[in-house]
Amino acid sequence: MATTPSLSSRSPRRGAPAEPAPPPRTRPETQARLAAHAPRTWQRMLSGRRLNLIEPSPLDIEIADVALGLARNTRWNGQTSGDHAWSVAQHSVLVVEIVRRLLAPRRDTSLELAALLHDASEYVTHDLITPLKSVVGDVFKEVEDRLMVAVHMRFGLPRRLDLERKAIVKRADLIAGATEAVQLAGFQPTEVRTLLGIKEKPLPDVTLHPMPSREAERLFLDTYEALAARYALERR
């Protein structure tokens, strides 16, 4: 993608301690319910890992499992145009590209990695559309938060992004969503704001091409490997 000056965003401030985003407010009875179910709420991954979905360990999370799950997990409940579904894997790579635009000309590798992994929990929870998330309520939010904390720990990121950095990823996520809505999900540009409540505008210079799941998986892994290598060098 070519950089777009109109997407410029302030870079995260340096020096001052950053306030991490708060965990979800989960009712005590919900916490007790999850604790009761935890011993039998697990899934075996193709890597051989056995991931407890309620009490996830970072040691049981493998990037190959994440890539496979996200490449086979569809955005918009699969209601998109084209011969192939628009996967969460492709969406995640798009969000990375938008974060780069927002921060250009500088790079923030850790934030790009967080952007790539911003929906990583969906490799086991799947992509619930926003109206359904609101119905499911605090149980889903708590499970999602626990999985994301484990993902961040596994790949060397802060347990939770600070509020400013989280807002950058969220803005990129909304821009991606607006673009997908118009190009793939059948919405008119005016409906992005009126029906979906997204204030960000679709990207005017990007054409989305849904890939077969195997190609989307490879794209996600290639993006991860490039970012992980750069991040490792920066942390030396």
**Span of 38-42, 70-74, 108-112, 186-190 with lowest mean pLDDT:** 38-42
Q: Is the pLDDT of residue 119 over 70?
A: yes
102 in Cβ contact with 172 (< 8 Å): yes
Q: Which residues contact residue 31 at a Cβ distance below 8 angstroms, ignoring those fewer than 6 apart?
A: 142
Give, to the nearest 10 degrees, the angle between helix 88-103 and helix 63-71: 110
171 vs 135, higher pLDDT: 171
For residue 38, the model assigns a pLDDT of 66
Across 119-148, average pLDDT: 83
Looking only at Cα atoms, what is the longest distance across the chain? Answer: 51
Q: What is the pLDDT confidence band of residue 136, given thresholds at 50, 70 and 90?
A: low
What is the pLDDT averaged over residues 177-200?
A: 97
The per-residue pLDDT of the chain, averaged, comes to 90
Q: Give mean pLDDT, residues 90-101.
A: 98
What is the arithmetic mean of pLDDT over 70-82? 96
Q: What is the pLDDT of residue 8?
A: 62
Query: What pLDDT is attached to residue 145?
Result: 93
